């Protein structure tokens, strides 16, 4: 719930106009065509972690809270999946 509140507050601050539009949000939704959809849970997890990291501007503590995992677990997953900042 706190994450949603933060996103809305941020959108209100940086937005242009009286309504929140998708461009005001800190994330974009990537649509997958059926043939592009990740086949493995590992790839899905990797993509989800990247999305959360990007949404938190790579704030590891915040991202770990959003993922409901320990910070060290997130560091381990970043290393395991060879995730680099800015690769989304």
Domain ranges in the chain are: 1-28, 31-88
Confidence at 42, pLDDT banded by 50, 70, 90: very high
Phi and psi at 33, nearest 5°, equal -75, 155
pTM of the model: 0.61
Architecture of domain 31-88: Orthogonal Bundle (1.10)
Higher pLDDT, 9 or 44: 44
Exposure string for 47-70, b = 16+ CB within 10 A, e = fewer: bebbbbbbbbeeeeebbbbbbeee
Give the per-residue pLDDT at 78: 97
Q: How far apart are CA 40 and CA 14, in angstroms?
A: 37
CB 88 within 8 A of CB 51: yes
């Amino acid at each position: 719930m706190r994450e949603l509140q933060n996103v809305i507050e941020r959108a209100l601050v940086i937005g242009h106009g009286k309504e929140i539009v998708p461009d005001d949000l800190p994330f974009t939704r990537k649509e997958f065509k059926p043939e592009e959809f990740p086949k493995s849970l590992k790839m899905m997890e990797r993509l989800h972690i990247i999305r959360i990291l990007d949404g938190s501007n790579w704030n590891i503590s915040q991202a770990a809270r959003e993922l409901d995992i320990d910070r060290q677990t997130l560091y381990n997953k970043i290393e395991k999946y060879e995730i680099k900042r800015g690769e989304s």
